[in-house]
Amino acid sequence: MGGAAVLAVSTREELAVQLAPRTVAERRVGTAARVPSSRGGARALATMVFSADWHPDGSDLAVSTYNDQRAAIEFPSGKVLARPDRISLIRFSGDGRFVVYCGAQVDTPVTINVVRAAGGESPRTLATTQGCSGLAWHPALNEIWFSHDEVGGQSSFRALRLDGNSRLVWRGPGRLRLQDIASDGRVLMVSDRDRQIIMLGHSGAAERDVAWLQFSVAADISADGRVLLINERLADGGRGASYYIRRTDGSAAIRVGDGQGLALSPDASQVLALADPLQFQLVGVGGEPITTLPHPDLFSLFAWFSPDGRTIFFNGRPRSGDAGWQFYSMPVGGKQITPVTRAGFDHYAGQQPFSPDGRFISGLAATAPRNIIIDRITGQESPVVGIRPNEVVARFTEDSRGLYVFNRERLPARVFRVDFQSGARTFWKEFTPAEAAGVTGIESIVMTPNARTYAYNYARRLAELYVIAGLK
């Protein structure tokens, strides 16, 4: 089972493993399978699984899944107990009566929720926290314990009871993730030594690392290749997540604001930022007043400027109901929101889905999923030919007739130009870190329309495992 990850171990010493993991919605999902501790092969149970936990009697698994662009908490597999906003970590209560879950985020507010394992009741929110990096049930104290990162490079463990009362268990320096709690109260935790790296390249010149702090991610690049929009995803970047602009001449990065930067305006004078999932902000890089662009009925995490800079496109889904993701538009001045695509149309994280001429949209149909192109003039949907399994789209080519695609689960990452009508493939570049330890792939690529300047993001994930005794 090469590449498999352990999800949970049952009281019967049976493993739950994640097979063939891949990145979807910025999280690693795969096929959950049961593996006996004695000899025997893996038996697949569910696909698109992010997290799982065994019922205390070891009979079956609860799983956290992401199918058809929607997260779900299921027990047993196939029976949906809850539909959270985000892909979630899950744990059973000690008596098996409840499933606890929280959004697997490190730098944004999430809720910790509980739902009856038997179903029949709506989930109940117990607490709101700034991120949830680890989740476990304390069998001796009958409490939920969770870990999260704090401002200033610290982490904390907190205990939470089912009545909503909470208390601080431990706080200290570093990025520490709670993994599990033994019956005698010993705590299994991981100390992360992660770093996000941005490599910048230009017209054959030697690539160089332009990350600013420890968790830098290039979100966009100006059309002339002179300015990068960089997100710092954790507390070291300031008061929580923050975003910067950095000129590619090597000068220092300039902090623009709090939150997440999404896109640069065509003239690089403004940043489109995510204040929270229900509103965007237009922020001038020269200190101009901030313009708030609310979309209170739509949950959204990604947005882009139109090529002329007059319109904002974003991917969202209604806060209520079962409708899936789709693209919308609003003028830069805000107010009127108009659907651009049908429901059930998504995109790859880090992708620029709009063609330079503004005519085409590249995305994913939820039902397959499969890559499709939507012609905004005719409304016609066409399947993309020439993209291979596990390849994702980075952006359109300058002439709007092709796509840059790559496999983000493999090193080296080979990038191809694909004519989306004929399927013809042309090799463009190959990316690989100089030191591959702890790197599983290239996460995303931003590039100028002419592809002469580019930046690619990858994470080096190293960690140390600890057992702690005496926490109460």
Condensed to tens digits (0 to 9), the pLDDT of residues 104-148 reads 655 567 899 999 999 999 999 999 887 889 999 999 999 999 998
Which has more confidence, 172 or 330?
330
Least Cα distance to 445 among 373, 398, 396 occurs for: 396
What does the pLDDT read at residue 238?
A: 43
Average pLDDT of span 218-229: 97
What does the pLDDT read at residue 116?
A: 96
Token representation of residue 325: 């993701």
Residue 241's pLDDT band (cuts 50, 70, 90): confident
Average pLDDT of span 357-384: 88
How far apart are the C-alpha atoms of 5 and 107, rounded to whole Å?
Answer: 24
Angle, vertex CA 118, rays to CA 116 and CA 119, nearest 5 = 70
φ, ψ dihedrals at 244, nearest 5°: -135, 160
Cis bond before residue 383 (omega within 30° of 0): no
> Does the pLDDT value for residue 252 go beyond 50?
yes
Q: What is the CATH number of domain 195-374+444-460?
A: 2.120.10.30
Whole-number average pLDDT of the chain: 90
Least Cα distance to 125 among 72, 80, 159, 164 occurs for: 164
Token representation of residue 319: 């806060």
- Give CATH superfamily name and number for 5-192: YVTN repeat-like/Quinoprotein amine dehydrogenase (2.130.10.10)
Which has more confidence, 165 or 409?
165
Which has more confidence, 72 or 239?
72
Length of the chain in residues, anyone?
472
What does the pLDDT read at residue 60?
A: 94
- How, if at all, do strands 444-447 and 453-460 pair? antiparallel
Q: What percent of the residues of the chain are helix, what percent strand, and what percent coil, each to the nearest 5? A: 0, 55, 45
What does the pLDDT read at residue 180?
A: 95
> Does the pLDDT value for residue 90 go beyond 90?
yes
pLDDT > 70 in the chain, percent:
94
User: Residue type at 45?
Assistant: L
Predicted structure pTM score: 0.82
How far apart are the C-alpha atoms of 258 and 324, rounded to whole Å?
Answer: 28
Token representation of residue 188: 């299994």
Region of 400 please: left (phi>0), alpha (psi -120 to 50) or beta: left
Residue 59's pLDDT band (cuts 50, 70, 90): very high
Task: Yes or no: say if 219 and 262 are a contact pair by the CB < 8 Å rule.
Answer: yes
Give 308-361 pLDDT, tens digit per residue.
999 999 999 888 766 778 999 999 987 899 999 988 888 888 899 999 999 999
Beta bridge partners of 461: none
User: Residue type at 416?
Assistant: F
Domain boundaries, the chain: 5-192, 195-374+444-460
Average pLDDT of span 36-64: 90
Give 433-448 pLDDT, tens digit per residue.
988 888 988 999 999 9
What does the pLDDT read at residue 236?
A: 46
Least Cα distance to 243 among 226, 228, 255, 227 occurs for: 255
Task: Yes or no: say if 392 and 375 are a contact pair by the CB < 8 Å rule.
Answer: no
Measured CA to CA in angstroms, residue 20 lies from 5, 9, 32 at distances of 9, 19, 9
**Do 5-192 and 195-374+444-460 fold alike per CATH?**
no
